[in-house]
Amino acid sequence: MSDITKYTISIYTENNVGLLNRVSAIFLKRHIDILSFSTSQSEIPDVFRFIVVVKMTESGVKKIVQQIEKQIDVIKAFYHTDEETIFQESALYKVKSSSLFEERQIQNMIKDSHANIVTVSPEFFVIEKTGFRHETEALRKSLAPYGLLQFVRSGRISITKEKMGISEILNTFKQQNKD
Amino acid sequence: MKNQETNNISGAEAVIRCLLKEGVDLIYGYPGGAIMPIYDELYKYRDDLRHVLTRHEQGATHSAQGYARTSGKVGVAMATSGPGATNLVTGIADAQIDSTPMVCITGQVASHLLGSDAFQETDIIGISTPVTKWSYQITKASEIPEVLAKAFYIARSGRPGPVLIDITKDAQFELFDFAYKKCKAVRSYIPVPSLDITQVEAAAEAINQAKKPMIIWGQGVILGEAEEEFKNFVESSGIPAVWTILGLSALPTKHPLNYGMVGMHGNYGPNVLTNECDVLIAVGMRFDDRVTGNLATYAKQAKVIHLEIDPAEISKNVEAHYPVLGNCKESLSKLSSLVKHEDYTDWKQLFADHMQQEIEAVIKNDTQPTKEGLTMGEVIVGINKYTKGDAVIVTDVGQHQMIACRYAEFIKSKSNVTSGGLGTMGFALPAAIGAKMGAEDREVIAIIGDGGYQMTIQELGTIFQNKTAVKIVVLNNDYLGMVRQWQQLFFDKRYASTEMTNPDFVTIAKGYHIEANRVSKREDLDSALKTMLDSDEPYFLEVCVEKEANVFPMIPTGASVSDIRLK
């Protein structure tokens, strides 16, 4: 009944300067930890999509989504389990160039983990890896002994298996408010 | 369309024109640097738009709230940037939790100074975000018409609430061609969910099966202007109805099916029987913790029908077995046509029996005391004698508020103005000013404790300057009474910082040229109330009441509604 599960909340919004603050305030007010947060353009022009990952009960996440949807500039919000979504994270790793040539294993690691080299300069090179958390994490652990100069991982981005129907909502509104 | 008159006007003038287009004829506020261009226009438009200068920005918000609550219109408050804006926050939070339509307009430093820690710069959008229904910062004059139209639409539609619009000073000075179009819809916002008739039918079916149904109504009935539909529903079903503090006055107090108040200091029967009813019909209320007590033991035996406009309230605190989303004006009339009438004789007798117990244990002592000290209850009953329920009663927060709501009589809706959800001490005096201006033909009586009164006492200046004929009754027990009561009951009488050494309130009122009187003896009370209510001018009456009286019944924090104590 009160099982804690990882949920991905998707929020379709208008572009409004204060909206990020408004959405995060909903989590703050209820003392809920945000595991990951990302925003981007969505499939619809002028509509943005926030992806928030939280760990909580289903009844809890349902109430949060109701509160988010209540915000004026939010068009629609949903929550999904991992099984209901396709999701990925991206990570960047900055390593000294010298180690690429001195340590043959690094080249194998990059190949084995299906990572890409994005940039190479005389001083450093940058590797990019997109995948599940455990995959980007495994590569980080493997590279750590060779001196990671910088490491950064993005928030989760996610696409749902089910249809979202945002265009339909917006089209219905357009139909009803012709003047 | 080009218009000579509205071409090339300033943002500041555009703000005034927007207000006029929205039907605003009265605003509350306080000037200052960053809002001076708008005040300059207010001066020019002073014949069309009345500005009431409160003595503190918090007073402006509470006055705007009082105005909204009695008039049903959107209240407007205005302040400058920085401290002016932050002083609005308490009133905004109060309006948010009590669903009061209000538009606040704040001045802001010029846009090129934003983020530079300029004089009187605060991030009021950031500060007010969690307590506003919507907010927006305007940095260009051309945004003013559309944003203000949207602000009023959002404030008043659906579940009403406060909206804050912050306007930089350069946008107020900037010239542009003004054109106004009222906002009729916002694509990301559904103010009123459409009514699902199958849900109404399911709810009606549950009601028709019920043996012991009970209605709890809240402010939604008033905000939805559904008083008639509600009365009709109660009468056509025959179901006993009880109210939350903000629902008070939607149905006359003496209506035969009105069985009183639920909640922490509500009536005995409505609380106890919440845990005995088989169907609970919640109308426009949100199951606040002061209503429900311990949720784990709240109405577990009942099927819950929830008529509600805000989807976020469905199953937020109490699971709704039959959620009926929509405006209750519509859902109630549909429901009335589907429910059958029952007498519920035995069930209603239980309410009457509990009331009899409450009368013996509490109400007699409160309203017909035999001990020497004056009680708050007898003051309220004394007021009823003259108003016959036809007055607006504005209360602050604490013991006097609970007593007033328990004993005041009402025959008309929109007559009970109080700070419910936020419990804002200092609310009543400024709210009474707005309440009177929103219902000028009606008697408006503010009932305030000595603690809350001193939180916004400066608004006596506003009352004097505007000759606002409110009647102010301070029930003085020289204590922060409700906190003292809790200290007595739950903290072994350790009266930490609750005793007050009070000034001479009569002299203070007279200093503001307000007629004033004080009573401390029972034999003087009736004539003092009569003199006050006969006056056509602002009037102040201090009643010195019993110092250590307690409000009962009471549900202790965390206890079940059925464990309500009579003493």
Domains A5-85 and A86-153 share a fold: yes
> Catalytic site residue B120?
yes
CB contact under 8 A, A21 and B188: no
Interface predicted TM-score (ipTM): 0.93
Mean pLDDT for B184-211 is 97
pLDDT in tens, A95-135: 998 887 777 888 889 999 999 999 999 999 999 999 999 99
Quickly state the pLDDT bin for B262 (edges 50, 70, 90). very high
Mean pLDDT for A62-88 is 97
Task: From residue A139, give the alpha-carbon distance in Å to each of A94, A102, A116, A130, A131.
Answer: 12, 18, 12, 11, 11
Question: How close, in Å, is residue B312 to chain A by CA atoms?
Answer: 5
Q: Which residues of chain B does A28 touch, with a Cβ-Cβ cutoff of 8 Å? A: 130
> Catalytic site residue B491?
no
Is the domain spanning A86-153 CATH 3.30.450.20? The answer is no
Q: To 10 degrees, what angle do helices B57-71 and B428-438 make?
A: 40
pLDDT in tens, B33-50: 999 999 999 999 999 999
Q: Which residues of chain A does B89 touch, with a Cβ-Cβ cutoff of 8 Å? A: none
pTM, two decimals, is 0.96
Of B488, B556, B475, B552, nearest to B261 by C-alpha is B552
The span from the CA of B4 to the CA of B7, in Å, is 5
Q: Which residues of chain A does B295 touch, with a Cβ-Cβ cutoff of 8 Å? A: none
The pLDDT score that the predictor gives to residue A15 is 83
* Mean of the per-residue pLDDT values of chain B: 97
The span from the CA of B10 to the CA of B1, in Å, is 18
Q: Which residues of chain A does B310 touch, with a Cβ-Cβ cutoff of 8 Å? A: 70
pLDDT in tens, B212-224: 999 999 999 999 9
Considering only the beta carbons, identify the residue of B125, B137, B188 that sits closest to A72. B188
Percent of chain A with pLDDT over 90: 82
What the block records as the tokens of B378 is 């007898």
Name the DSSP letter for residue B479.
Answer: B
The span from the CA of B498 to the CA of B71, in Å, is 36
CB contact under 8 A, B129 and A21: yes
* Mean of the per-residue pLDDT values of chain A: 93
Interface membership of A13 toward B (CB under 8 Å): yes
Q: Which residues of chain A does B137 touch, with a Cβ-Cβ cutoff of 8 Å? A: 17-18
B195 has pLDDT over 70: yes
Quickly state the pLDDT bin for B433 (edges 50, 70, 90). very high
- List the catalytic residue out of B13, B41, B57, B229: B57
- Name B313's Cβ contacts closer than 8 Å, sequence gap at least 6: B286, B287, B306
What is the biggest distance separating any 2 CA atoms in chain B, rounded to whole angstroms? 75
Mean pLDDT for B173-186 is 97
For residue B184, the chain A residue with the least C-alpha distance is A177
The span from the CA of B488 to the CA of B465, in Å, is 41
Interface membership of A22 toward B (CB under 8 Å): yes
Query: Phi first, then psi: what are they for A92, rounded to 5°?
Result: -120, 140
- List the catalytic residue out of B437, B482, B532, B554: B482
Quickly state the pLDDT bin for B5 (edges 50, 70, 90). confident
pLDDT in tens, A143-166: 999 889 999 999 999 999 999 889
Domains and their CATH numbers in chain B: 4-176 (3.40.50.970), 197-351 (3.40.50.1220), 368-544 (3.40.50.970)
- List the catalytic residue out of B21, B36, B120, B458: B120
Percent of chain A with pLDDT over 70: 98
pLDDT in tens, B113-123: 999 999 999 99
The pLDDT score that the predictor gives to residue A179 is 61
Interface membership of A29 toward B (CB under 8 Å): yes
A1 has pLDDT over 60: no
The pLDDT score that the predictor gives to residue B295 is 97
B152 has pLDDT over 80: yes
Residue pair B160/B152 in contact by the 8 Å Cβ criterion: no
Quickly state the pLDDT bin for B2 (edges 50, 70, 90). low
**Residue that the structure tokens 């029972």 belong to:** B522
The pLDDT score that the predictor gives to residue B1 is 47
Residue ranges covered by each domain of chain A = 5-85, 86-153
Q: Is B465 exposed, middle or buried (0-12, 13-18, 19+ CB in 10 A)?
A: middle
**In the structure, how many helices (H) and strands (E) does chain B have?**
24, 20
DSSP for B267-334 reads -HHHHHHHTT-SEEEEES----HHHHBSGGGSSTTSEEEEEES-GGGTTSSS--SEEEES-HHHHHHH
Question: How close, in Å, is residue B171 to chain A by CA atoms?
Answer: 17
> Catalytic site residue B488?
no
Considering only the beta carbons, identify the residue of B126, B136, B185 that sits closest to A177. B185
The pLDDT score that the predictor gives to residue A18 is 86
- Name B242's Cβ contacts closer than 8 Å, sequence gap at least 6: B214, B215, B216, B217, B258, B259, B260, B261, B262, B266, B267, B270
B143 has pLDDT over 70: yes
The pLDDT score that the predictor gives to residue B499 is 97
Q: Which residues of chain A does B127 touch, with a Cβ-Cβ cutoff of 8 Å? A: none
pLDDT in tens, B434-486: 999 999 999 999 999 999 999 999 999 999 999 999 999 999 999 999 999 99
Task: From residue B547, give the alpha-carbon distance in Å to each of B369, B478, B482, B520.
Answer: 14, 7, 11, 12
For testing the chain A interface, which of B187, B313, B319, B325 should be mutated: the one with the most A CBs within 10 Å? B187
CB contact under 8 A, B187 and A173: yes
For testing the chain B interface, which of A58, A72, A172 should be mutated: the one with the most B CBs within 10 Å? A72
pLDDT in tens, B101-112: 999 999 999 999
CB contact under 8 A, A69 and B312: yes
The pLDDT score that the predictor gives to residue B11 is 98
pLDDT in tens, B56-65: 999 999 999 9
**Residue that the structure tokens 């890409």 belong to:** A116
Question: How close, in Å, is residue B168 to chain A by CA atoms?
Answer: 15
Q: Which CATH number fits domain A5-85: 3.90.1150.10, 3.30.230.10, 3.40.50.720, 3.30.70.260?
A: 3.30.70.260
Percent of chain B with pLDDT over 90: 99
Query: Phi first, then psi: what are they for B255, rounded to 5°?
Result: -60, 135
Handedness of CA B251, B257, B258, B263 (dihedral sign): negative
The span from the CA of B345 to the CA of B333, in Å, is 24
Interface membership of A30 toward B (CB under 8 Å): no
Interface membership of A70 toward B (CB under 8 Å): yes
